[in-house]
């Protein structure tokens, strides 16, 4: 035990210092979580764009296939005319 007397002001200053340190620490953690959230949102947006591009390519591919399939009457007629 110390021989020094501790005043209310010393205790209050200690709590103020502790409060400031905790606030700075929590602010730092909060900024890191915000940065992580931003990176995750950007990553998910990139995945969404890639899926949309893939979906568009797939639909174009099917449209091209459908055009070929639905043109079969004309092609069969042309083939039959050659026989």
Q: Which residue has the higher pLDDT, 77 or 27?
A: 27
Q: Considering the domain boundaries, does residue 34 fall inside one?
A: yes
This prediction has a pTM of 0.51
Return the pLDDT at 66.
72
The residue segments making up the domain with residue 74 are 8-82
> What's the pLDDT at 3?
62
**DSSP sequence for 14-62:** HHHHHHHHHHHHHHHHHHHHHHHHHHHHHHHHHHHHHHHHHHHHHHHHH
Domains held by the chain: number = 1
Tell whether 59 is covered by a domain: yes
* pLDDT tens-digit map of 9-68: 989 999 999 999 999 999 999 999 999 999 999 999 999 999 999 999 999 988 888 776
Does residue 61 lie in a domain region? Answer: yes
58-81 mean pLDDT: 79
pLDDT at residue 1 in the model: 54
What's the pLDDT at 19? 93
């Amino acid at each position: 035990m110390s021989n020094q007397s501790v005043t209310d002001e010393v205790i209050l200053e200690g709590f103020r210092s502790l409060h400031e340190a905790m606030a700075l620490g929590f602010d730092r953690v909060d900024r890191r979580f915000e940065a992580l959230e931003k990176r995750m949102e950007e990553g998910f947006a990139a995945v969404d764009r890639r899926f949309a591009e893939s979906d568009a390519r797939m639909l174009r591919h099917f449209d091209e296939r459908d055009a070929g399939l639905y043109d079969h009457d004309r092609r069969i007629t042309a083939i039959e005319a050659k026989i």
